[in-house]
Amino acid sequence: MTPWPPDLGVRTVDHYTVQARRLRAQARSDFVLALIAAVRRYAVAPLAFGRRMCSSSRGNISTKLHGR
């Protein structure tokens, strides 16, 4: 008769622990790459928020960005 829960050896537990860490890291990097791709695809100028100026000759920051 097989005992329950099964007796897992130290090497087996270590193997699955390493695999779980690797899969979590891969999922994290896939998510970050997908997020970067989405920003590039849908944003006109994703890094230009700090440089937007209104069209006035004084060069004040646009009123649309105040309070953000």
Are residues 53 and 59 in contact, defined by beta-carbon separation less than 8 angstroms? yes
Are residues 61 and 52 in contact, defined by beta-carbon separation less than 8 angstroms? yes
Quote the pLDDT of residue 59: 55
Q: Write down the domain spans for the chain.
A: 10-65
The enclosing H or E element of 29 equals helix 10-42
Tens-binned pLDDT, residue by residue, of the chain (68 aa): 677 777 788 888 899 999 999 999 999 999 999 988 887 777 666 555 555 555 555 555 555 655 55
CA distances from 45 to 1, 18, 30, 60, 64 (A): 65, 40, 23, 19, 16
Quote the pLDDT of residue 36: 86
Separation between Cα atoms, residue 18 and residue 16, nearest integer Å:
5
